[in-house]
Chains A and B, each alone.
Chain A
Amino acid sequence: MSNAEVLSKLEQIVGKDFASNNQEDLFIYSQDPGVSHPRPVDYVVMPETVEEVQQIVRFANDKKIPIVPMGGGMTLSGLVIPIKGGIVLDMKRMDKIIEINETSRYALIEAGVTSGKLIAHLREKYPDLQAPYPDAPPSITIAGNALIHGSGYLSQKYGDHGAMINSLEVVLPNGEVCKVGSCAISNYWFTRGPIPDLVGLFTSAFGTMGIVTKISIKLFPKPKLRDIVIGLIKELNTIPGLILNLTKTDIPEDLMIALAEKPDFMKGYAILLLYITGDSQDELDSKTKILKKIYRKNKARFMKLPPRYYDVFLEQPQFAAKAADFRKGGGFEYVGSFMPLGKIPEAIEKARDISLKYGIVPTQVSRIIGRGHNVMFAASYSFNRADPEDMERARNALHETNKMVLELGGIPWKAERDGQKLIIEKMDPNYKMLFKTIRNILDPNGIMNPGNWEV
């Protein structure tokens, strides 16, 4: 089939305006804001309905054309840049908020709903509820984030965002629609069990198992007030003990350890950014008092946040994208990883060494997930997009960080292709076999984001 015929078929499905192989569109979708090299894309398609997704998948399966589902495309690790060409399926026209269930506290939304849209909707219509958002720009999708086990300011209390998925609607590689979670049985998209939990098939699968078209995500009560209680840590080896003591209490809502050169007060310290919430100032004050005591006992020093930084640190979600402007070069990428709490001091030291080796100012953040069961450890490398050598330095630093993470017993998160290869090298052979078997059954023609998780 010629390119023109493929395009014409895609246009028949989604309409002329939403399928393209113009050089400009292919150029834009062949790269992401991270440091990956561009890779060729053949078509960009924006479906609006589940039926359209089904038709596209059936057609692609028939013609063996790869499909890469894309939400915001903001992982930075090149996950939505096709490795083997084909169709990029930009899901953001599927942007309906279908239901906010206040009693069972979930949002049922289409896969293209951005965090910006859900934030605005809840803020306006359900101010007492909040969803799990990452500190990523508002153009990311809730589905894209949950599907990669994202994390955010509710994660210390409630776990990573993959754990907050109740149910999914998925178009499988053969074009059939499949419901997983409680929605497979009930009209309520309120839980994953108590049936065999197949949601996991689709998380951190990077679009290799199917295309999610709807997602039900847990919502949480939103307390009226929020504040930050900063701690300065001099000795890195005190971090695990401090975190365990802090999470023994029910107090921290969000808990991060940051290492950065800016603002000035952060230089030379590991900074504990601990967020508390409550419904009255008294409640916040008494929580702060308890926290200060724990800080003292664990050799951390309380610091009052200078008022001029209030807006910066209390913005929700935070403007983390500012890292892209550190070198006035429009780019940064980070190795995020899931890391055991006990290894955080070592990870911080080692990532700092890697940064210095490559002449990049050390910038790291560790976000506690689920009371210390896991830590999302991220080492970030800013680069100047206009300087190829600078980009190469960042690539090398990222690769070295991936290796370091695996050596410490952590696992790179939302890993790019090379990171995935490092993970696969360490993977239990039977895990690989199981994964491969399932994938071959679901996608015998290998059309779903091929090149990812090549076990």
Chain B
Amino acid sequence: MTINVKQDWKDIVHRCFRCGYCKFTFEYSDFNCPSYKKHRFETYSTGGRMWLIYGIINGDLQWSQNLANVLYSCSTCGNCMENCRFDKFNDFLVDIIEAARAEAVKNGFCPEKQKALLERTTNTEMFNPYGEPNSDNEELKKKYNLPDKAEWVYFIGCTSNYRQKNLRDATLRFLKKINLDFTLIDEHCCTSPIIRTGQIEPVKEFMNYNIDKIKEVGATKVITSCAGCCRTLKVDFAKQGVNHDLEIYHTSELVKRFLDEGKIMFTSEFNKTVTYHDPCHIGRHMGLYEEPRDVYKQIPGIKFVEMGRNRENAWCCGAGGGVKIGYPDWAVEISKERLEEAKETGATILSSTCPFCRTNLSDANDKFNLGLEVIDLIEILDQLEIKVNE
């Protein structure tokens, strides 16, 4: 459940009791709010944020850069939504934080680094938050011999297209291998980074553009390899009132469906111990917990192990909500904790299903020399032999 922008979140903020259930994992084994765990002042707990936001609404507090910083020191991981005990309020915690960020933006208090995301994304040479020249993906279409019209569009997403090309290429190879009728479009950013940082002004225009492009190639189905794009296309488009009749699949959902339908079978082995990091955007935000797990478990030879905190209880990688760009050192500290948890399982591979998680987890792996292999599920599948049943 989400609050759409018109719904008045201001009417429910005061329901926060500041009781702190939201700081913990289900079984209280640890703090699960990365922000509270780092800062430790009550201010940085979810309850603290709710009370600050309420303070702004009722005029007890004035906007300041520091205050905005507290609101932006949240990876929008959604752990608080799982652990807050107040029904029909807990669903809205992250929405409220994002809505308050939009107010910060309106009042001129968006932090500089997060602002840069918007500047780059709206730059007509770029249309992506990384500041790279926009790729119309024509080269890739040629390289992979993709048609102009197809049933499916692979929406690559900016992180895969500009930072995690391995993951993008593995996805392209995989989709070719399974003979999916798909193509690429000249996509613009899905708008996840600017929505999460409250910079919502141009969002609808981007959304409509992407939908038009997908429709132009005759596609009715979209596949994303990015958890952030997936959530945005599936959840945020509707929230923003941009409705579409496209079917949106995360790669893990597509693979699971093809395995279930017997369309594909893995025929070679992957003899390694793997643990799975649930990306917040498809996990807590969308409830996709079992689909990726089902795929890993069907890989011959794999030893699949769980970390202590998994599924709804998973520790965030620390990249989301503008934290990676706003607080890069802290972002990798959050990932470091995840990698250490992964090591405790005896796994040699920490795998996820999101290029943004992959980036941050890899950065921490390198920075702290933790010696794990960090790869996406699709990169594992890319190494397998696959039998395709037409």
Residues of chain A at the chain B interface (Cβ within 8 Å): 17-18, 20, 22-25, 27-29, 31-33, 44, 46, 72-74, 90, 92-93, 114, 116-117, 119-120, 123-124, 137-139, 319, 321-322, 324-325, 328-331, 384-386
Closest 7 CB pairs of A and B: A139-B20, A116-B28, A324-B17, A137-B19, A386-B14, A330-B15, A120-B29
User: Contacting B40 at CB < 8 Å: which of A18, A22, A31?
Assistant: A18
CB distance from B315 to the nearest CB of A (A): 15
User: Contacting A24 at CB < 8 Å: which of B23, B27, B66, B89?
Assistant: B66
A-binding segment of B48-56, B161-169, B172-180: B48-56
CB distance from A342 to the nearest CB of B (A): 34
Q: Pick 26 A–B contacts, CB within 8 A, sort by A.
A: A23-B61, A23-B64, A25-B41, A25-B43, A27-B51, A27-B55, A29-B42, A31-B51, A32-B18, A33-B18, A44-B41, A74-B19, A74-B20, A90-B41, A116-B24, A119-B28, A120-B27, A120-B29, A138-B20, A138-B21, A139-B19, A139-B21, A321-B19, A325-B15, A329-B15, A330-B16
Contact A24-B19, Cβ < 8 Å, known A46-B41, A330-B14 = no
Known: A23-B67, A139-B23, A322-B86. 6 other contacts (CB 8 A): A20-B41, A24-B43, A28-B42, A90-B42, A116-B24, A120-B30
Residues of chain B at the chain A interface (Cβ within 8 Å): 14-21, 23-24, 27-30, 39-43, 48, 51-52, 54-55, 58, 60-62, 64, 66-67, 70, 85-86, 89
CB distance from A354 to the nearest CB of B (A): 23
Residues of chain B within 8 A (CB-CB) of A22 are: 43, 66
CB distance from B81 to the nearest CB of A (A): 16
User: Contacting A321 at CB < 8 Å: which of B23, B29, B61, B85?
Assistant: B85
Tell whether, in the assembled complex, residue A328 and residue B15 are in contact, meaning their CB atoms are under 8 Å apart: yes
Dominant secondary structure of chain B at its interface with chain A: loop
Whole-angstrom distance between the alpha carbons of A322 and B85 in the complex?
8
Tell whether, in the assembled complex, residue B17 and residue A321 are in contact, meaning their CB atoms are under 8 Å apart: yes
Q: Closest residue to B38 on the A side, CB-wise?
A: A17
Q: Closest residue to B10 on the A side, CB-wise?
A: A386
Contact A73-B42, Cβ < 8 Å, known A116-B28, A120-B27 = yes
Residues of chain A within 8 A (CB-CB) of B85 are: 319, 321-322
Whole-angstrom distance between the alpha carbons of A43 and B284 in the complex?
36
Whole-angstrom distance between the alpha carbons of A44 and B44 in the complex?
13
Residues of chain A within 8 A (CB-CB) of B28 are: 114, 116-117, 119-120, 138
Tell whether, in the assembled complex, residue A28 and residue B17 are in contact, meaning their CB atoms are under 8 Å apart: no
Whole-angstrom distance between the alpha carbons of A228 and B328 in the complex?
51
Whole-angstrom distance between the alpha carbons of A20 and B23 in the complex?
21
Tell whether, in the assembled complex, residue B29 and residue A124 are in contact, meaning their CB atoms are under 8 Å apart: yes
Tell whether, in the assembled complex, residue A331 and residue B17 are in contact, meaning their CB atoms are under 8 Å apart: yes
Tell whether, in the assembled complex, residue A92 and residue B40 are in contact, meaning their CB atoms are under 8 Å apart: yes
Q: Closest residue to A20 on the B side, CB-wise?
A: B41
Tell whether, in the assembled complex, residue A33 and residue B52 are in contact, meaning their CB atoms are under 8 Å apart: no
Q: Closest residue to B17 on the A side, CB-wise?
A: A324
Tell whether, in the assembled complex, residue B21 and residue A330 are in contact, meaning their CB atoms are under 8 Å apart: no
Residues of chain A within 8 A (CB-CB) of B27 are: 120, 123
Whole-angstrom distance between the alpha carbons of A322 and B90 in the complex?
13
Tell whether, in the assembled complex, residue B61 and residue A27 are in contact, meaning their CB atoms are under 8 Å apart: yes
CB distance from B297 to the nearest CB of A (A): 27
